[in-house]
Amino acid sequence: MDDHYGHFIGTTPGDVSEARDKDLVESVAKASLYDAQGVRRDGTTVLNIFNDCDYNRSVVTIVASIDSIREAVLSACEKACELIDMRTHSGVHPCLGAVDLVPIYPLGEDVGTEDCARESRAVATGLTRRVPGTSVFLFGWADVPLERGLAQRRKEMGWFKKTADLDRITACVGPAPHKRFGLTGVGAGPYVMNCNVTIDTQDLSVGRRVANAIRESAPGGLPGVQVLALPHEGAVEIACNVESVPGLPGPTAPWPSFSVGGRPYCHVPPSLISARVAELAGRDGVGTKGSALVGFTPNQCRTLAEVALSRGIGQFWKEQQRVRM
């Protein structure tokens, strides 16, 4: 990537608890691109919107300069909180908030951990000030001094429960969670991908066995992989968060790699996750129906960000298929 972009790109895919109303989700995405007067923000683009109606959850990938990311994200969060009411939300995917997750990742070589941590904490504070009643828990580099990971923080907040008890949650920033807005996770860390593999069964116990075998904490599990088995479109989806792990890939595992502030990271390739799920499901006589990368790999995201920003394309999610690389 050109050094110009290496100095200032930050990125945040945000998870919002709505997918069935696509116009609403696009309104949230567009809010990141334009200020209150309708003026286009420089150095900001929305690379992708991924909607899942069963989950009733959308992933919005915003990329901006380190100077612009805070305002872009806060504007999108404000719009989401205005339009989404968690008291009427339904979906099979776990969630706690109208804006469920705001992770900020560095893309440019010269955007460091403290830059992302600072912007994450500013987003947390800014959201609770701009939208009274919202509350935030922090994770990753933003969770000073413990730097607890997202999976740990979600467990502590009750995110994995079928029905979380908001009255028992203590937020890091803001008041006790309000049922209208729920609770938002805000943090920073190295890039995280979402890779989902669908297995051809409605038996959730098969999916749970697969999930238990591939998650990082299991013996022989895949590094950086956090996973859920969820009912999805008449089958079972193995939904994986793929965290980047510190260090260079070894000679026996030539995984994709990148660096943050000069520190190397690598991640399990989605193809390996798909193959491992197919192998494990096959032991129960179950095949796979397909896989999907929700968004991009770190290197794909960085490349597309350079294209979108260099050409001034804000609504890149609409134009990606026709843009020549």
Phi, psi of 145 (to 5 degrees): -100, 0
Flag whether 325 is in a domain. Answer: no
* DSSP assigned state of 286: -
Token couple for 319: 């134009």
Q: Could you count the other beta carbons within 10 Å of the beta carbon of residue 252?
A: 5
Question: Are residue 122 and residue 248 in the same domain, yes or no?
Answer: no
Question: For the chain, how many structural domains are there in total?
Answer: 2
Q: Where residue 91 sits, what CATH number does that domain have?
A: 3.30.990.10
Per-residue pLDDT of the chain (325 residues; tens, 9 = 90+): 344 455 456 787 689 999 999 999 999 999 999 998 999 998 999 999 999 999 999 999 999 999 999 999 999 999 999 999 999 999 999 999 999 999 999 987 788 899 999 999 999 999 999 999 999 999 999 999 999 999 999 999 999 987 888 999 999 999 999 999 999 999 999 999 999 999 999 999 999 999 999 999 999 999 999 999 999 999 999 999 999 999 988 777 789 998 888 889 999 999 999 999 999 999 999 999 999 999 899 989 999 999 999 999 999 999 887 776 5
Q: What are phi and psi of 87, to 5 degrees?
A: -70, -20
Instruction: Give the DSSP letter string of 172-211.
Output: SBSSSPBTTTB-EEEEE-S-EEEEEEEES-S-HHHHHHHH
Q: Which residues of 132-169 are buried (b: 16+ CB within 10 A; e: fewer)?
A: eebbbbbbbbbbeeebbbbbebbeebbbeeeebebeeb
Whether 92 and 71 map to the same domain: the answer is yes
Task: Based on the fold, state whether residues 61 and 146 are members of the same structural domain.
Answer: yes
3-state class (DSSP) for residue 294: strand
Asked if residue 207 and residue 165 are part of one domain, the reply reads no
How confident is the model at residue 14, as a pLDDT? 85
The whole-model pTM stands at 0.93
Sign of the Cα torsion 303, 126, 28, 56 reads: positive
120 and 148 belong to one structural domain = yes
DSSP symbols for 33-85:
TB-TTSPBPTTEEEEEEEEETTTTEEEEEEEEETTTHHHHHHHHHHHHHHH--
Burial 190-222 (b: 16+ CB within 10 A, else e): bbbbbbbbbbebeeeebbbebbebbbbeeeebb
Domain harbouring 246, CATH code? 3.30.70.670
- pLDDT recorded at residue 325: 52
Measure Cα distances from 24 to 57, 87, 184 in Å.
12, 17, 19
Assess whether 206 and 313 both reside in one domain. no
Q: List 292's β-bridge partners, or say none.
A: 196
Q: How far apart are CA 203 and CA 166, in angstroms?
A: 30
241 and 156 assigned to the same domain? no
**Residues 53, 164 share a domain:** yes
In a shared domain, residues 79 and 139:
yes
Looking at residue 293, its pLDDT comes to 92
* Residue 8: predicted pLDDT: 56
Domain annotation covers residue 108? yes
Residue 165 lies in domain:
3-189+298-320
The answer to whether 144 and 52 have CB atoms below 8 angstroms apart is no
Q: What type of residue sits at position 23?
A: D
Token couple for 13: 């895919």
What is the rounded end-to-end Cα distance, in angstroms, of the chain? 13
